Structure 1
Amino acid sequence: MAIVTWTGLEVAALRALRDTQIQFADRIGCSLEAVGKWERRGADITLGAKYSLCMDTTHRRLDDEQRARFYAALDDRREKSDPLALLPTRVAAPYPPRPHTEMAHPGSDGIVDKSSSGIRDGSIFQLRRVIMGCIPDSPPAEQFDLTAAVNRAWDLFFSARFDELKRELPAALASAYSAAEFAVGEPLRQINISIAKLLHAASNLLGYVAHEDLAAFALLRAEALADDSRDELTLAAIKASQSWLLVKNGMHDDAAAYADRVATDIEPRLSTASPRHIAIWGELLCYAAFAASGTGDYREARRYLRLCESAGIQLEGDYASRPEVSNVFGYASAASFGVVNEISANRPREALRLASVVTGPDTGIPPTLRSRWFVNVAQAQIHNRDDADAVDTLRWAWLMAPEFIGHVPLAHTLINELLTRRGKQQLDGLVGIAEHLGVSDQMGGTRP
């Protein structure tokens, strides 16, 4: 059994098994005051992600006798509390069954939707509930179905069909959680890996639709499952996305060091490594390069990218049968991140040279990756004052993945810049893209 959401009630019951408050605080690396506050406030306080993971680890190490004492103490504490405040639920390890109360948002994690209106109406709210542990009743899925659900989730993501993915992920996760309740041994390990991959897909989606905090929480859950399952490569792929989230939050130094460390840990022997191993390693190097570029260390970024090129050559640019559904690393990836690095280094011509690696609309690269590639190329063209070409490239980005491009802030920035440059020159197609994205036209007012 495990706990989905840790409040002061669960902390008090766990701590009382064998520790004083001082011993407990020392063991988990927090202050005595924090432990005291958690226990005093009980169900009114929810732990943040960092300490929740500490509690998960401590809880998993209990033996049967300790576990029985823990739940007996927890039930007693709950009975003495206000029943309406008891939002956390006891769950089957490491997944929650279906509580019939609504789960409050854990304020101490800061995991709150960017929009305060209509939060309970959309599919993001349903996905939030599942990630946070409020699981609806669902029949358990077979492993074959879980594998199909993972493939489907990543196909929807890379096809830029975000609305479908938002709708389907909660049910897929619920079925996976249900399956975990009835499994043991190797079948349970495989289910854990599938749930980790579904949470990974959810995190990538959430990161693009401006729910970065919830995306980070989903990755923490995914990381714990992959780690418990001893799946080194799935864990490394999840950590690559953690590096990406750090970059999105402006933490470039941390992201570069993190991606570099994980890439070093799994560095393959290229002549004998599996395609999946090479692809995950290559993706980590791309994120290390991206983060290094953000710090202004363009030389270090180029060093990472040269390693990326070596990995991409090994994979021969085969996107159609990619070795890892969550990973579309290939020969174009190094060039794409290279474009970003050279633009940051104020070398637009070198960026355009790298951009020429991928030409035309049909290279087998999935739509989300292709669309983002076009946005990067358009940025290089704008830096080189090739405005008309940049508009054409942005049109390709829009046509390739119209649902995706609206979630790329750089696309909005570039269109705004082109609108301010336009003057009397009419750039065909620019206004149409601006209208689609709701970008303000400096020359003609705000577009709907």
Structure 2
Amino acid sequence: MSSLGESVKNYRRLKGWTQEQLAEAAGASLGTVRTVEQGGNASVEMLHTLAAALDTTTSSLFATEVPSPIEVDSSEGPRLMELRRALMPPVGLSEILVEPSEPVALSAIQRDIDDQHALYRTDRYDSVAKKLPGILRAAEVAVATSDDGEDEQRAKIVRARALLLAGKYLTQVRRYDMAYHALSRGIQEARDVGVVQLATNGVVGMGWLLLRQDRFDEAEQLAVRTADDVEPRMSKATPAQLAVWGELLQRVASASIRNNRPDVAKEARRMATTAASALGREHMDFREHWGTFGPVTAETKAIEDLSLVGDARGVLGRADEGPVGSKALKKLGRPSPNNWDRHRLDVARAHVKLGSHQDAMDELTGIKASSPEWLKHQTMARRVMREILGSRKRTLTQDMRETAAHLGISG
């Protein structure tokens, strides 16, 4: 039995419950509870549900244990080798060993960073991965060859932005150790040169990484502390200050709702909505904050909370209304493709839970058409697709076969 399974079993026994009673309280099947307690796999959403039934936090169910072996595609190493070499060069006794190259103007490096952010936003991950090594090397050379003073500070700001872009890309494609290295260096660099807004932008990214690693307590604490440090005065705050503060509050809410702390999540969402309302519409500035933020983004994340607690009807009741309705989108602007696609995945999941498998399939097909690379990296998409396939009694449609293949699902 795994440590996780033992934790669930111990909490259940403290309640004086049988496995059947835990299954009933959590709205799960008896087989699911048995699988978890015997060390089988379970989604974070299911663990959240079990934790809520057991009156504890999701984090308390996790324990340190030896991870299961992971199958790695043999092409994975070569694909990221150049990025790995640029981001994490060998370190010797005297200095970092970097390949010499000609200095590039800071304005050109910054332009490349801006261009790659634009490509990242439009689902062009392969292009970003190919360009990042050169950007990182150019930024390192710029710092190494700069004069002391303002010239060096400008070079370090550009290097911090390059590192944060690398951290964003690597978190998205689930290369978490590399992402942590890039984000932590970027935050420290920005902090060292006194650019608080840029460092805070990196903290938003660090919060996202911690969430991806199921480190809910740490994600919440980091975001709370940073949000307190940078809380703006509403009457004088710039759009970027409001946006980064709102993004931090969203990290607080996302961590606490996953950790079975709904009251904390509710208050954080309320404050994020306040920041979004002060902005008035979606705001994007990758140099100053992590992504697009505004009323629509705040609403998609509030709907995501409903999805996480299993309220499928609540998700569908708000899925195309209010700030996320078609009329509001024209007035308020669209959120980032990542946030919008995640919202539509929540809608697909809600349809599956209510047995509307064709509606769920329509959502997946739409996301695949607009963001095929993003979809490949979404565990929830594979889960939804498997449920659709498992419920299908007739021959699969062409869309079903193509989407399943796209997500790497066979059989």
| TM superposition score category, shorter chain reference | 0.7 to 0.9
Query: What CA distance in whole angstroms lies between the structure 2 residues aligned with 1:301 and 1:382?
Result: 25
Moved more, 378-387 or 403-412: 378-387
Query: What CA distance in whole angstroms lies between the structure 2 residues aligned with 1:321 and 1:226?
Result: 17
Inter-CA distance 438–342: structure 2 relative to 1 (3 Å threshold) = same
Aligned to 2:384: 414
The superposition leaves residues 261-290 of structure 1 with CA deviations (integer Å, 9 ceiling, x where unpaired) of 111111111221011111111111111111
Q: Does 1:377 align with 2:343?
A: no
Whether the aligned pair in 2 keeps the contact of 1:279 and 1:323 (CA below 8 Å) is no
Q: Does 1:404 align with 2:371?
A: no
The superposition leaves residues 37-68 of structure 1 with CA deviations (integer Å, 9 ceiling, x where unpaired) of xxxxxxxxxxxxxxxxxxxxxxxxxxxxxxxx
Whether the aligned pair in 1 keeps the contact of 2:223 and 2:248 (CA below 8 Å) is yes
**How high is the sequence identity, in percent, across the aligned residues?**
27
Query: What CA distance in whole angstroms lies between the structure 2 residues aligned with 1:340 and 1:253?
Result: 19
Q: Find the partner of 1:128 among 84, 91, 102.
A: 84
Inter-CA distance 270–377: structure 2 relative to 1 (3 Å threshold) = farther
Inter-CA distance 427–315: structure 2 relative to 1 (3 Å threshold) = farther
Whether the aligned pair in 1 keeps the contact of 2:230 and 2:245 (CA below 8 Å) is yes
Inter-CA distance 185–114: structure 2 relative to 1 (3 Å threshold) = farther
Amino acid at match of 1:131: L
Whether the aligned pair in 2 keeps the contact of 1:114 and 1:211 (CA below 8 Å) is no
Aligned to 2:5: none
Q: Find the partner of 1:358 among 305, 324, 337.
A: 324
Aligned to 1:388: 358
Inter-CA distance 153–325: structure 2 relative to 1 (3 Å threshold) = farther
Query: What CA distance in whole angstroms lies between the structure 1 residues aligned with 2:102 and 2:318?
Result: 50
The superposition leaves residues 353-411 of structure 1 with CA deviations (integer Å, 9 ceiling, x where unpaired) of 33223245985434333322221221223233332222111112111111111011111
Inter-CA distance 351–299: structure 2 relative to 1 (3 Å threshold) = farther
Give the superposition deviation at 1:161.
0.5
Whether the aligned pair in 2 keeps the contact of 1:160 and 1:404 (CA below 8 Å) is yes
Secondary structure of the structure 2 residue equivalent to 1:247 = helix
Equivalent positions of 1:2-81 (< 5 A) are none
Secondary structure of the structure 1 residue equivalent to 2:200 = helix
Aligned to 2:255: 291
Query: What CA distance in whole angstroms lies between the structure 2 residues aligned with 1:119 and 1:393?
Result: 29
Query: What CA distance in whole angstroms lies between the structure 2 residues aligned with 1:326 and 1:135?
Result: 29
Query: What CA distance in whole angstroms lies between the structure 2 residues aligned with 1:290 and 1:247?
Result: 8
Q: Does 1:162 align with 2:87?
A: no
Whether the aligned pair in 1 keeps the contact of 2:280 and 2:294 (CA below 8 Å) is yes
Inter-CA distance 224–248: structure 2 relative to 1 (3 Å threshold) = same
Inter-CA distance 116–435: structure 2 relative to 1 (3 Å threshold) = closer
Whether the aligned pair in 2 keeps the contact of 1:371 and 1:396 (CA below 8 Å) is no
Whether the aligned pair in 1 keeps the contact of 2:244 and 2:290 (CA below 8 Å) is no
Query: What CA distance in whole angstroms lies between the structure 1 residues aligned with 2:370 and 2:295?
Result: 20
Whether the aligned pair in 2 keeps the contact of 1:260 and 1:288 (CA below 8 Å) is yes
Inter-CA distance 422–391: structure 2 relative to 1 (3 Å threshold) = same
Query: What CA distance in whole angstroms lies between the structure 2 residues aligned with 1:137 and 1:322?
Result: 29
Aligned to 1:227: 191
Q: Any stretches of 5+ residues in structure 1 without a counterpart?
A: 1-112
Whether the aligned pair in 2 keeps the contact of 1:336 and 1:376 (CA below 8 Å) is no
Whether the aligned pair in 2 keeps the contact of 1:159 and 1:368 (CA below 8 Å) is no
Give the superposition deviation at 1:427.
6.4
Whether the aligned pair in 2 keeps the contact of 1:196 and 1:221 (CA below 8 Å) is yes
Inter-CA distance 121–305: structure 2 relative to 1 (3 Å threshold) = same
Work out which of the two has the higher radius of gyration on C-alpha atoms and give 1 or 2.
Answer: 1
Whether the aligned pair in 1 keeps the contact of 2:87 and 2:182 (CA below 8 Å) is yes
Query: What CA distance in whole angstroms lies between the structure 1 residues aligned with 2:345 and 2:305?
Result: 14
Amino acid at match of 2:374: F
Whether the aligned pair in 2 keeps the contact of 1:371 and 1:398 (CA below 8 Å) is no
Inter-CA distance 127–323: structure 2 relative to 1 (3 Å threshold) = closer
Aligned to 1:200: 164
Query: What CA distance in whole angstroms lies between the structure 2 residues aligned with 1:119 and 1:136?
Result: 23
Q: Any stretches of 5+ residues in structure 2 without a counterpart?
A: 1-69, 90-96
Secondary structure of the structure 2 residue equivalent to 1:242 = helix
The superposition leaves residues 201-244 of structure 1 with CA deviations (integer Å, 9 ceiling, x where unpaired) of 11121112221111111111112101111111111111111111
Query: What CA distance in whole angstroms lies between the structure 2 residues aligned with 1:114 and 1:180?
Result: 38
Aligned to 1:117: 74
Aligned to 1:173: 136
Aligned to 1:278: 242
Structure number with higher helix proportion: 2
Query: What CA distance in whole angstroms lies between the structure 1 residues aligned with 2:144 and 2:71?
Result: 33
Whether the aligned pair in 2 keeps the contact of 1:336 and 1:354 (CA below 8 Å) is no
Query: What CA distance in whole angstroms lies between the structure 2 residues aligned with 1:120 and 1:281?
Result: 37
Aligned to 1:339: 303
Equivalent positions of 1:180-195 (< 5 A) are 180-183=143-146, 184-195=148-159
State the number of aligned residues: 329
Q: TM-score, normalised by structure 1?
A: 0.68
Inter-CA distance 302–384: structure 2 relative to 1 (3 Å threshold) = farther
Amino acid at match of 2:377: H
Amino acid at match of 1:263: A
Query: What CA distance in whole angstroms lies between the structure 1 residues aligned with 2:389 and 2:236?
Result: 51
Amino acid at match of 1:353: G
Q: Does 1:262 align with 2:218?
A: no
Amino acid at match of 1:223: I
Inter-CA distance 135–380: structure 2 relative to 1 (3 Å threshold) = farther
Aligned to 2:50: none
Q: TM-score, normalised by structure 2?
A: 0.74
Q: Does 1:431 align with 2:401?
A: yes
